[in-house]
Amino acid sequence: MRNFVCIGVVALMGATGCKASLKMGKQPDPEPVAEPAPPPPEPPAPEPPKLTMVDPPDVHLVGDHITIDKKIHFANDSDVIQEDSFELLDHIAEVLKNHKEIQTLHVIGHTSSVGDDAHNMDLSKRRAAAVMKALQDRGVEQTVDSKGAGETQRTCKEETDDCHQQNRRVEFKVEMEEAGA
């Protein structure tokens, strides 16, 4: 019975305490509510992959020249570039776009010794100008100029078909930006 009385007294005291606090205008303390956890921080955006510019395998920047593994072909005795050279011109333009340190490109046309000197000089100038225009049409932003050398800078002096073919060429010289410019 003693246990029963104690429980009753505790219950009465608790109830009386609640009634007393209600009578005085006090609200019972609210139950603590856990604050939501802050959202996790946003993960950093992944860095875009670094693209390394790879030059086409048939065009090379070597010192102050761009060398090509193939020849630019023209229609016979003409400055019209043949279609089989379009991909090579695309590759030359790509190398120029990859190498912004190239400030100026000089396109130099050469001919064989077959034919009249004046005609060969004119033909070499027109061919160099055609290549210059083709590169500009492909979006090359560097300064590009052209000139003809005719037959004055032959790489082969023999009067054979093979030698004439070697001398019919287009050469590319470059000027680089000066360091710190």
Q: Tens of pLDDT along 70-112?
A: 999 999 999 999 999 999 999 999 999 999 999 999 999 999 9
Helix or strand or coil: residue 9?
A: helix
Q: Is 46 within the bounds of a domain?
A: no
Q: Is 32 within the bounds of a domain?
A: no
Q: Tens of pLDDT along 115-130?
A: 999 999 999 999 999 9
CA distance readout (Å), 176 to 54, 63, 173 = 19, 10, 10
Query: What amino acid is encoded at 135 in this protein?
Result: L
Q: Is 71 within the bounds of a domain?
A: yes
**What does the mean pLDDT of the chain come to?**
85
Let me know the angle formed at the C-alpha of 162 by 87 and 109, rounded to the nearest 5 degrees: 50
Residue 154 is part of which domain span? 59-176
3-state secondary structure 98-111: HCCCEEEEEEEEEC
Q: Is 53 within the bounds of a domain?
A: no
Q: Is 7 within the bounds of a domain?
A: no
Report how many domains make up the chain: 1
Q: Which CATH number do you get for residue 91?
A: 3.30.1330.60
